[in-house]
Structure 1
Amino acid sequence: MNQRKSLKELNLLDKFLFDEAMDDPENVKTMLDIILSQNTNLKHPPQTEKEQRTSIDNRQIRLDVYAIDEDDVIYEVEAQKENTHNLPKRSRLYQGIIDSKLLPPGVVDFNLLNEVLIVLIMPFDLFGYGLYRYTFQMKCQEIPELKLDDGATRIFLNTKGKHPESVSPELIELLKYMEHSTDEVSEACESKRIQEMHRRVCQIRASEKTEVKYMQSWEERIMIKQEGIAEGRIEGEKALLKSLIEKKMAKKYSAEQISAMLEVDVSEVENIMKEIQNEKYL
């Protein structure tokens, strides 16, 4: 089990601190302004840990930071410490679910869809070209200069880039600060905006209320993990029992005989036998 870091040891790439810091609209604005080289005016306070799904039967996603500016552009920003080897397709899923919620029922003018920017910030080079930023938009393969202009942009940021000439110095400072959110890194930054962000981050780290919230969050994750292990063990035992009963059924043993052989309550054996029989008729 991983050793729990103290709140003061967390960096902005750590999910808890990232979510807490991005509850502050000023931090979200600073981050978007630097990443996109623009002046972002947020329409509403950003939402962190925003849950999205298209229906109760479909997969739910949880967005780290969800924000809308005064031009109705939607921003979804994720801090991703681990390479799960599915991030391009995960960003596609995020794009699809966000899009599915944008038009009210009955609206057929798809030009009303908001522009959506999805940004993933990572301490590794997902694509291996040494860039700090990889920006993706749809375009025609046959005519590369022909863009689709569907309003969808996905940006993958790499804190370990090797080509500073392709991005602003302030973005490089921001990425380094997000990976190592320390006094030393902040002081080395020429960007006053990053230094001001660090001041706000230090306030979060010094808050007793946030410390309690962090401890509760950690304890909840441990409980969920333990419950998952227990559930997995139980499911494994059930699958093994079902397999054994199915083999006994194939040899024409009765429920009572199987119950005695496996030392399992006869009612449980009967229920599993019914389940096996029903599956055969599906």
Structure 2
Amino acid sequence: MKIYVDKELEKQWEEASLSNNFIFCKVMSENLDLCKKFLEMLLNIKIESISLAQPETTLNVDFFAKGIRLDVFVKDDTDRIFDIEMQVIGKDYLPLRARYYQSVLDVSSLHAGEDYESLTESYVISP
């Protein structure tokens, strides 16, 4: 049986790297040891273990508010939250985007009636 392979797709796959969103999300969400080491080295912190790593996580805080889609949403054993982004295009608004993502993470982690000191430590990581 002859299998047809699109030459352009084959070329894209062969040239794919960690900057490819699919590969990045797959590697970071399925290889928890690598994800943990990446975060520890980048942030100069100690992480005992990662309890959750989900690719393509969507957070909506309000019907009328702009939702966000996190490339890789990570939680560690102390409930610290990490948003790891692989942004290779549209870098003009990265500081504003990171600020908005941070605020949505905060709104998502603080429930009605809780004190502000209950806010979870969180990081937005974007190139």
Cα 1:67/1:12, change in 2 over 3 Å: same
* Structure 1 residue 71, shift from structure 2 partner: 2.3
Select the residue among 48, 54, 58 that pairs with 2:61: 54
- Which residue number corresponds to residue 119 of structure 1? 125
Select the residue among 22, 26, 32 that pairs with 2:28: 22
Select the residue among 72, 77, 80 that pairs with 2:87: 80
Q: Deviations over 1:69-101 (max 9, x none)?
A: 222221111111124311100011101111101
* Structure 1 residue 43, shift from structure 2 partner: 4.2
Aligned partner letter, 1:118? V
- Which residue number corresponds to residue 13 of structure 1? 19
Looking at structure 1, the residues matched to 108 and 16 of structure 2 have their Cα atoms a distance apart, in angstroms, of: 33
* Larger relative strand fraction: 2
Question: How many matched pairs?
Answer: 118
Q: Deviations over 1:142-200 (max 9, x none)?
A: xxxxxxxxxxxxxxxxxxxxxxxxxxxxxxxxxxxxxxxxxxxxxxxxxxxxxxxxxxx
Looking at structure 2, the residues matched to 23 and 96 of structure 1 have their Cα atoms a distance apart, in angstroms, of: 23
Looking at structure 2, the residues matched to 88 and 38 of structure 1 have their Cα atoms a distance apart, in angstroms, of: 22
Contact 1:42 1:67 in 2 (8 A): no
Gaps of 5+ in 2: 1-7
* Larger relative helix fraction: 1
Secondary structure of the 2:57 match is: strand
Secondary structure of the 2:113 match is: coil
Higher RCO structure, 1 or 2 (CA under 8 Å, sep 6+): 2
Looking at structure 1, the residues matched to 26 and 87 of structure 2 have their Cα atoms a distance apart, in angstroms, of: 15
Secondary structure of the 1:50 match is: strand
The ranges of structure 1 where at least 4 consecutive aligned residues each deviate by more than 6 angstroms after the TM superposition are none
Looking at structure 2, the residues matched to 43 and 27 of structure 1 have their Cα atoms a distance apart, in angstroms, of: 11
- Which residue number corresponds to residue 77 of structure 2? 70
TM-score scaled by length of structure 2: 0.82
Aligned partner letter, 1:78? E
Select the residue among 38, 45, 49 that pairs with 1:42: 49
Gaps of 5+ in 1: 122-282
Secondary structure of the 1:39 match is: coil
Secondary structure of the 1:66 match is: strand
Looking at structure 2, the residues matched to 50 and 41 of structure 1 have their Cα atoms a distance apart, in angstroms, of: 23
TM-score scaled by length of structure 1: 0.39
Percentage of identical aligned residues: 28
